[in-house]
Amino acid sequence: MSESGDHQALAELLVERAGALARQGRLATVEAWLRVLPSEAVGRSAWLAYWFGQCESARHPSAGRAHLERAYALFKAQDDAAGMYLAWAGYADTFFYVWNRFEPLDGWMSELQELRRRHPEFRAGSSRRA
């Protein structure tokens, strides 16, 4: 698929399969697929940005933060509660692995309060992509 340049089809397949691949411990496969896509496409898609952030965070936790922040903003613009919760949690998780500066979490705690106010329940099954 990537040889033919059909990036849209690859992106759709990736969004559909990334959760299952991640549960199987195959984030390296997800990352390899993501790296075939143009970086602009990854930056415009909430789910692609989320998965890129997850892949980056697996190797270097703080490196994935920017992608997870971008994913959160895109999910927020779409009012995708499941995506917002997942991106927020992915971002917050990085601080458990890089135990040094916690100031960046201050704004995220306020964001979580707002998210919980707007969407009080997170339904894991509400997103087929994670």
At 68-119, the pLDDT tens digits run 999 999 999 999 999 999 999 898 888 877 767 766 777 777 888 888 888 8
Task: Report pLDDT for 56.
Answer: 93
The answer to whether the beta carbons of residues 63 and 57 sit under 8 Å apart is yes
- The structure's pTM equals 0.83
Task: Report pLDDT for 69.
Answer: 93
Predicted confidence (pLDDT) at residue 121 exceeds the cutoff of 50: yes
DSSP assignment of 27-78, as one string?
HHHHHHHHHHS-HHHHHH-HHHHHHHHHHHHHHSGGGGHHHHHHHHHHHHHH
Residues 6 or more apart in contact with residue 96 via CB below 8 angstroms: none
All domains of the chain in start order, with CATH: 7-126 (1.25.40)
Predicted confidence (pLDDT) at residue 27 exceeds the cutoff of 60: yes
The residue count for the chain = 130
Rg (C-alpha) for the chain, rounded Å, is 15
